[in-house]
Structure 1
Amino acid sequence: MAQNIERKLLAHIARKYPRPLHEMHAPKPHITERMRKRNAEEKKLFQILSRLPSWGIGRLFTTYDDLRNNAPTFWRLTRVHVDLKSPDMEYGVAWGVKTAEGRNEGYEKELLDANEHIWRLIPKHEEHNYLEYKAQSAETKEVPLYIPLPPLMAELEKQQNPQTASDNMEPMMRLLIKRGVSEKNRQKLADGSLV
């Protein structure tokens, strides 16, 4: 059973990455001083993982860009697939659960930047600071549920539905906004509750 799952996983990775990963990521042609400094301080994810027991599964990692945020953003590594053909096994595919600004996304996804020089391992003695962080509720602003139609569309609507024109009601359309935990816009329903 486990071998069958592993074969399917390897077949999926082979379809997604037809060439070996270490051949796909060529060095950048123009390297700035900031990139040199970052590359000296930060490592590729698999450079760190190759020195950890069990390839670091279960450990917390953060990126160079996420260190500047006030709220912790990090990944808990769940599984890895190493490119065994790469020199020093420094390339591969990794999956984890992301916690962005203190809010856990709750599902596993692929770490897309695993082969970039942006990763840091969070030491065990600092993990509790990241895990015990309570996300603060973001300030929200209320957005209307319905807005008036643009003038041309309003005229077309009045021509198509003469009974709405006789009621002297302005034609409205429902405003759709992006919803999610980190979104700042909320809409008030007819009963007064915010969604």
Structure 2
Amino acid sequence: MASTFRNLPKVKGRRLFEILNTLPDYGIGRVFTRTSWLSKFPDEPSYIRITSVTVDTEKPNLNGGEVWANRTWRGYRKDGLEVKITAWHKSEWKLIRKSEEADFCAYTPKKEDFHVVPNSIPLPPLLDAMMRQKMEREGDVSEEKLKLKLIINQTYVNRAYQLPES
């Protein structure tokens, strides 16, 4: 049986710290992407904008440390959400030129790409019956429907959102 790794395209690029070490202020504010993101999603830009860099001075050639960035995944960005970049060691990073940044980053996701999630849902029937029995034992008789509050994990990949409670 043939290996599936032979069918993958060759990765071209450099490690993130190799590029960051050549830029002023270690590239803070600059836009980077990975070649795998470009090949998988050519119509939806995925990139990071560097917000802070901590260089490990004990590594040779300063080739390591921590990188924090605002990440845009397939055109979708969570404002104010900073993530630690864990794939800085991969040899597939590409710096977007300043003259090309505006065109590369100019993408508005379609409205149907987002999903509105309710703030609460009715309890499952068995749990509802159990909760009502417990409430009756405690002397609280209420006819209103019991609801389960939903909390959506706010990450850069999650395209779901909740409307504010009214």
The TM-score with structure 1 as length reference comes to 0.59
The amino acid across from 2:64 in the alignment is Y
* 2:24 corresponding residue in structure 1: 53
Cα pair 1:61 1:76 within 8 Å, conserved: yes
- The CA distance in 2 between the partners of 1:170 and 1:161, in whole Å, is 12
Q: Which structure features the higher share of helix residues?
A: 1
Q: Which structure features the higher share of strand residues?
A: 2
Higher relative contact order (CA 8 A, sep 6+): 2
- The CA distance in 1 between the partners of 2:94 and 2:160, in whole Å, is 30
- The CA distance in 1 between the partners of 2:8 and 2:61, in whole Å, is 22
* Aligned counterpart for 1:80 among listed residues 49, 53, 57: 53
- For structure 1, list consecutive stretches of 5 or more residues without a partner in the other structure: 1-31
Secondary structure, counterpart of 1:85 in structure 2: coil
How many residue pairs get matched?
154
1:103 aligns with 2:74: no
Identity across matched positions, percent: 25
The structure number with the bigger radius of gyration is: 1
- The CA distance in 2 between the partners of 1:34 and 1:48, in whole Å, is 28
- The CA distance in 2 between the partners of 1:185 and 1:107, in whole Å, is 15
* Aligned counterpart for 1:112 among listed residues 78, 82, 86: 86
* 2:121 corresponding residue in structure 1: 146
The TM-score with structure 2 as length reference comes to 0.67
* 1:136 corresponding residue in structure 2: 110
How far residue 144 of structure 1 moved from its aligned partner, in angstroms, is: 7.8
- Superposition RMSD in Å: 3.5
